[in-house]
Structure 1
Amino acid sequence: MPVSDPRAPLPPALVLDRSVRRPRTAVLLLHGGRSEGMEAPPRWNLAAARMRPFTRSVLRVTEGHDVLVGRVRYRHRGWNGARADAAVDAQRALDELEELAGAVRVVLVGHSMGGRAALAVAGHELVRGVVGLAPWCPAGEPVEQLADRRIVLVHGDRDRTTDPLGSRDVVRRARAAGADTCAVLMTGGDHAMLRRAPEWHTLTSELVAGLLGLAPLPGPVRRAFEEGLDPATSD
């Protein structure tokens, strides 16, 4: 079996889906993964495939607004405990984006493990907002890095993989730490975001547009930020 050379340069963590000459803002998408797994994500990766419709929705809603759109490439399939590999790669992608485009405002969109990674790196100076889709939020996850960010976590009430209560706990503690944040419950939604898929895609694109300042935020989310309360459901 060939052994990789530890001195070899790392592959870029930033993969572009739309490059613009002078981007004003940017959106990075982060797909899910596994709790453990040192192998590289396979070429055909279901977790990555789940995010493609979201990428298309984001591309549509940001068309003509000088918004760079990209995704994070992981070196490993899993989070891998204290290594936090997905967060390390997300941080690298943000650093590469800053080198490429300068001080652009960034919104991160992450599903499951990708949601955990997005929250973990939200303290990066480029990041202004995070949309977490069925995010993996273990008990006691740090929230101090979310101060002064706008965070929306969307969770289906039929999710049996990650706990919607974890999203609510992060939102509660992040709000106390100084974030504008809320949790949205997608009634009937599952972890794979297949049930009510069009609603997942539409809500995500509306949240991205709102967090980038291209359009108003959805009314319930805007009121949640203003009042410090969570929308009860997304019907």
Structure 2
Amino acid sequence: MVQEAVPVRDARLGRAAGAAEDRTVHGVVLLLPGGEPASTRKQSPLAATGTRRLGRWLTRFGSPEGLVTHVVHYRYRGWNGDEAHPARDAEWATDEVVRRYGDVPVCLAGSGMGARAALRAAGHSAVNTVLALAPWLPGGDGAHDSEPVRQLVGRRVLLVHGTVDRRTDPGLSYRLAERAKKVNPDVCRFEVHTDDHRLKQHRDEVLALAADFVLGSLLERGYSRPVTDALAAPPPLGLRMPLAAGFGASLRP
């Protein structure tokens, strides 16, 4: 049987958004879009829509302090089993950030499959922060226990998941967070009650939470009380923190 050759493509960084050219860059966020379990097709132009919204929100509050964001454009739209193409592309993108900006802290921020890529690629020495929104994780027959967590040691990690997500399993993100918390106390997880995969119902609160966590971690601004409490709390409280309506009103930005 003739096998179709996998197209050869290069990952790339989208245009920089944030700090002006005359301002020193103090932190970089790499935005990792969602994708599909298996596909060697080119990444869909629509895949980055949600991550671009997050990027605009972060640069709105972080740009004056030297924050830059880039969307990562994958080689392929699929995870593709052991190849884990998006995670490898995230590692390449982090290397590229170091080449362009020097020794700056990096946050990997993804949703869906991009969230899994962010968690998997967190072992890069430049990464100090991981934001995983509704992560797509393996499940069934103990597969969730095979997903690595040691690479998260020394990083600040936030997972956010809607409780009625039908595309990615919030139970799996809880189990991964529980395992990660055992090796890294700086892991927390917020649950968005009655929200689905897109986290659209409480979008403003989710964006405010993300900004508080990412800017607090990258720029050493400190956190709002809810994030501080979540990081300090042992399981299960620190992994099942509810995201309350109106959350954004208490945040520094």
TM-score (norm 2): 0.84
Q: 1:168 aligns with which of 157, 167, 174?
A: 174
Report the equivalent of 1:107.
107
Report the equivalent of 2:24.
22
Moved more, 63-72 or 116-125: 63-72
Counterpart contact for 2:12–2:93, Cα < 8 Å: yes
Q: 2:191 aligns with which of 164, 185, 196?
A: 185
Report the equivalent of 2:12.
12
Distance 2:194 2:56 in 1: 23
Residues 1-235 of structure 1 correspond to what in structure 2 (within 5 A)? 6=8, 10-13=10-13, 15-18=15-18, 20=21, 21-43=23-45, 45=46, 47-138=47-138, 139-140=144-145, 141-229=147-235, 230=238, 231-235=240-244
Moved more, 213-222 or 67-76: 213-222
Q: Give the number of equivalent residue pairs.
A: 229
Distance 2:10 2:37 in 1: 22
Distance 1:31 1:171 in 2: 21
Counterpart contact for 1:14–1:93, Cα < 8 Å: no
Q: Please report how far the alpha carbon of residue 26 of structure 1 lies from its aligned counterpart in structure 2 after TM superposition.
A: 1.1
Report the equivalent of 2:250.
none
Counterpart contact for 1:40–1:77, Cα < 8 Å: yes
Please list the CA deviations of residues 70-118 of structure 1 after superposition, one character each: whole Å capped at 9, or x if unmatched.
1211110110111101001101100111111111111121101000000
TM-score (norm 1): 0.90
Moved more, 49-58 or 85-94: 49-58
Distance 1:197 1:13 in 2: 25
Counterpart contact for 1:184–1:232, Cα < 8 Å: yes
Distance 1:89 1:124 in 2: 12
Moved more, 113-122 or 218-227: 218-227
Moved more, 221-230 or 140-149: 221-230
Counterpart contact for 1:35–1:80, Cα < 8 Å: yes
Q: Please report how far the alpha carbon of residue 158 of structure 1 lies from its aligned counterpart in structure 2 after TM superposition.
A: 1.3
Counterpart contact for 2:13–2:70, Cα < 8 Å: no
Please list the CA deviations of residues 205-224 of structure 1 after superposition, one character each: whole Å capped at 9, or x if unmatched.
12212212453323222112
Moved more, 138-147 or 224-233: 224-233
Distance 1:223 1:212 in 2: 19
Distance 1:95 1:16 in 2: 15
Distance change >3 Å, CA 66–CA 213, structure 1 → 2: closer
Structure 2: gaps of 5 or more residues? 139-143, 245-253
Distance 1:54 1:153 in 2: 15
SS of the equivalent of 1:64 reads helix
Letter of the aligned partner of 2:231 in structure 1? F
SS of the equivalent of 1:182 reads strand
Distance change >3 Å, CA 22–CA 78, structure 1 → 2: same
Letter of the aligned partner of 1:233 in structure 2? P
Moved more, 152-161 or 48-57: 48-57
Structure 1: gaps of 5 or more residues? none
Moved more, 25-34 or 174-183: 174-183
Aligned sequence identity (%): 34
Counterpart contact for 1:206–1:217, Cα < 8 Å: yes
Counterpart contact for 2:35–2:78, Cα < 8 Å: yes
